[in-house]
Amino acid sequence: MFMTDHMSRLRPVFGWAALGVLLAAGVAQSATALRESGAIQPPDARTAQQMFADAPDGVDPIVTGPVSAAFKQRQKDANCDTAVWPNVPRACYPD
């Protein structure tokens, strides 16, 4: 009786543990597949030259319209005012 009572209390624990392991394995497999396929790229993975391939002479990162304070700070952090084509960080351009 003691062994049966003890096992009946542990059955849900083992069940949740197994579910957690399966979930973690599925997430890891999905992340690996996406990484290998190139679907996940860091935000600055594309160069300005790639982003604006139709502008061979370059694109000025200066925005002439209203922008948020966060975007202005992002440009300042990326040193956009001193960037020279084609080495202009992606952060210099609005999303």
pLDDT in 10s for each residue of the chain, 95 residues: 455 677 777 777 777 777 777 677 676 677 676 566 554 445 555 677 777 788 777 777 677 788 899 988 998 998 888 888 878 888 888 87
Q: Answer yes or no: are the C-beta atoms of 66 and 35 closer than 8 Å.
A: no
Q: How many folded domains does the chain comprise?
A: 1
Which DSSP category does 13 fall into?
H
- The reply to whether 5 falls in a domain is no
The verdict on residue 2 lying in a domain is no
Residue 29 lies inside a defined structural domain of this protein:
yes
CB proximity list for 93: less than 8 A, separation 6 or greater: 48, 51, 59, 61
Give the pLDDT score at 77: 92
Report yes or no on 4 lying in a domain: no
Asked whether residue 14 is domain-assigned, the answer is yes
Residue 80 lies in a domain: yes
Distance, CA of 60 to CA of 58 (rounded, Å): 7
Flag whether 83 is in a domain.
Answer: yes
Cα–Cα distance, 3 to 76 (Å, whole number): 67
Range of the structural domain that residue 34 is part of: 10-39+46-92
